[in-house]
Structure 1
Amino acid sequence: MSVQFIVEDDRRRFAVLPIDEYEELVEARRMLEDIQAWDAAKARNEDHIPIELVDRMLAGESPVRVFREHRGISQQGLAEAAAISAAYLCQIEQGRRQPSVEVLKKLAAALRVDVDDIA
């Protein structure tokens, strides 16, 4: 890096550098800020819903099924985690039964989502 310093009162007051080096520094700073923002979001455990999942739910697919498959959980595994039968879970996913609030809470906990995400 070729920097020229302007000194005033025996102190460096300004630094002059070629524009391409300046632009590289600006880009590096932006990249660092993006990385820091990403790290901060991950530390807060923010989990964003991939657009593919949103599209499936907007198309009418059961949010419980969408999140279950996204998490790689079998119907049996989710049913056991929520303390319900696999048949009941199947009916929920097919839209033939409405789960109680208590069951929704258990399903949401097992899927690591908010109740609002699957209700």
Structure 2
Amino acid sequence: MTTETQFFFAPDGTEMAVLPRERLDRMIAASEDTADRIAAETGLASLAEEGGIPFDVESRIAEGVNPVRAWRDHRRFSQAQLAEKASLTQAAIARLEGASPGSGRPETLDAIAAALDAPRWTLEAPVPEEKGPKRTRALFDRANPAERRLLRSRK
């Protein structure tokens, strides 16, 4: 029995190849590894360009928590600590956390985003009102490629 690839022409003139199953399996695995590497590189590029949201922050936002509060809790800052780091007052942080996402002057949100080391756009994330499967879908739709793989694996 030969282990080399064999070539022949089908009756319609198409050139065909027969190769050992082990070699085919290795080729398929290599192709899948390449696709996974490309997806990972794309995800990393997306994170570098747009920033990302940790799963616990995204989950809290989806539960209705204001994004500033979700990020502040994630970073384990008190309102006073965040206010000091962002050169604001504790009362301003409290007002923003009680307001709808994205409320506040752009320069205030920029300062808070910088203090939290969070992408600015995440502070404007809408709070979804849906629960259950729709909530999971909303999380999935807003996730970057790397987070989508994680969400897929938790189903």
TM score, norm. by length of structure 2: 0.53
- Structure 1 residue 24 corresponds to structure 2 residue 26: yes
Segment of structure 1 superposing worse, 72-81 or 99-108: 72-81
Segment of structure 1 superposing worse, 98-107 or 16-25: 16-25
- Max radius of gyration: which structure? 1
In structure 1, the partner of 2:77 is 74
Query: Percent identity at matched positions?
Result: 28
CA shift in 2, pair 1:50/1:89, >3 Å: same
Give the whole-Å Cα distance in 2 for the aligned partners of 1:53 and 1:3.
54
Structure 2 unmatched ranges of 5 or more? 8-15, 125-155
Using the TM superposition, give the Cα deviation of residue 54 of structure 1 relative to its aligned residue in structure 2, in angstroms.
3.1
The amino acid that maps onto 1:32 is T
In structure 2, the partner of 1:85 is 89
Alignment of structure 1 residues 1-119 onto 2, 5 Å: 3-6=3-6, 16-44=18-46, 45=48, 46-70=50-74, 72-75=75-78, 76-95=80-99, 98-111=103-116, 112-114=118-120, 116-119=121-124
Structure 1 unmatched ranges of 5 or more? 8-13
Over residues 24-46 of structure 1, what are the superposed CA-to-partner deviations in whole Å (9 max), with x where a residue is unaligned?
32123212221233134324515
Q: Calculate the aligned-residue CA RMSD, in Å.
A: 3.3
Q: Which runs of 4+ in 1 moved over 6 A?
A: none
Q: Is the 8 A contact 1:4 1:15 kept in 2?
A: no
CA shift in 2, pair 1:69/1:24, >3 Å: farther
Give the whole-Å Cα distance in 1 for the aligned partners of 2:42 and 2:108.
32
Q: Count the aligned residue pairs.
A: 111
- Relative to its length, the structure with more strand (as a share) is 1
CA shift in 2, pair 1:35/1:68, >3 Å: farther
Q: In structure 1, the residue corresponding to 2:36 is in which secondary structure?
A: helix
